[in-house]
Amino acid sequence: MAAALAPAHRPKRLDRTRQAAPQVFERLREMIIALELAPGTVLARADLATMFGVSQTPVRDALIKLSEEGLVDIFPQHATHVSRIDVASALQAHFLRRAIELEVVDALARKPTELLLAQLRAQLEIQQALAGGEDYDQFIAADREFHRLMYVAAGVPDLYDLVCRRSGHVDRLRRLHLPSAGKARAVVRDHKRVLEAIAAGQPGEARERLREHLSGTLAQVDRIRAEHPDFVV
């Protein structure tokens, strides 16, 4: 039987100075990616409307948008569930991200700037401090910021947003993989190698180190699926 939204998952009230639907979408998406809302969780419009303190209209709009990203399954006149993790979709998102990000690090390594290097080093320090603990949400936030900074420095921040919108399934796979022994430290190590290649002005090395970094979770997809058969298709 599919799980229902638990009281512990109830989100904070919304910012009344902003439109409701985007906030409901953002918060629900964060909860799905973080696995606070596990695959199979029932998302009842009435319950969500009550929790967010809004009408059902912005909730409906948010769920439709989440459905477009493949993060929820809407069954008309029946129920809406958080979707299971689709490996095929994850592979396509990985292909897109790799294609874009290889060009990003190539461009950065050809003209590294002190500002970017300082920003990346600062994020790396944050990740190193978090790598030994269990605050996975903060570690993931630092991970994302490391990559976002590279897109911004390369002049393609909109492509980062595009990649994020397409990466819901692969991001959930990474969230399942992160608690594995040594995974967080491997991410830090990979980031350090990418940073060093950019700083040294070595585009080919930067591309190779990034390629290795991005392949980590998907190389373990069979094990992740075996460990979480109810979550992964």
pLDDT computed for residue 7 by the predictor: 46
Helices 20-33/168-177 angle, 10° precision: 40
Q: Which residues partner with 42 through β-bridges?
A: 4, 81
Helix ranges restricted to H, 45-182: 45-52, 56-68, 87-110, 114-130, 136-153, 157-166, 168-177
Question: Is 63 in contact with 72 (CB distance < 8 Å)?
Answer: yes
Q: Which residues contact 232 (CB under 8 A, 6 or more apart)?
A: 39, 84, 85, 87, 173, 176, 221, 224, 225
Structural domains of the chain ordered from first start: 7-82 (1.10.10.10), 87-227 (1.20.120.530)
Q: Which H or E run includes 198?
A: helix 183-199
Tokens matching residue 93: 């998102």
pLDDT in tens, the chain (233 residues): 456 565 445 555 677 778 889 999 999 999 999 999 999 999 999 999 998 999 999 999 999 999 999 999 999 877 899 999 999 999 999 999 999 999 999 999 999 999 999 999 999 999 999 998 889 999 999 999 999 999 999 999 999 999 999 999 999 999 999 999 999 999 999 999 999 999 999 999 999 999 999 998 999 999 999 999 999 98
